[in-house]
Amino acid sequence: MSPDSFVSRAEDGERVSTSWGELNWKITGKSMTGAEMTFGTCLIHPGQRNPLHSHPNCEEFLYVVSGTCEHRLGEDVVMLGAGDIIRIPQDVRHWARAVGSEPVFALIMFSTGQRRAVDHEGSGVA
């Protein structure tokens, strides 16, 4: 095995621009053969949120690097800031909204390399 099959470079990643921000998928089962997790970044513009969605095949961890957001998890809403992490169980509906004047930048990790998302609002990429 080549060491390159285990390394993702900084310039790598699949960037997905949205009306609310950007997702950048660094590691997926598609981009790194054999990967059993998905890892990426999420940027949410001030005052914006991603659509209400859930993941039918995995749990998610979201680690806030910078900014502040309110995060809906099921029927509850919690505030998260830099250094906070939230675990989102499989099938639980959720969204994140950037509050304040700066964007939210977060690391997102999923328990499968084949992450799926169900958009419950039909408004775009989740």
Q: Which residue has the tokens 């900084």?
A: 10
Contact between residue 94 and residue 74 where contact means Cβ atoms under 8 Å apart: yes
What is residue 54's predicted lDDT score, i.e. its pLDDT?
97
Distance of alpha carbon 46 from alpha carbon 44, whole angstroms: 7
What is residue 95's predicted lDDT score, i.e. its pLDDT?
97
Distance of alpha carbon 16 from alpha carbon 44, whole angstroms: 12
The number of C-alpha atoms within 13 Å of 44 and in the hemisphere containing its C-beta is 26
Contact between residue 40 and residue 62 where contact means Cβ atoms under 8 Å apart: no
Q: Is the pLDDT of residue 117 over 70?
A: yes
Q: Where are the beta strands (DSSP E) in 1-117?
A: 14-17, 21-27, 38-44, 53-54, 60-66, 68-73, 76-81, 85-88, 94-99, 104-110
Q: Is the pLDDT of residue 96 over 90?
A: yes
**Mean pLDDT on 57-63:** 98
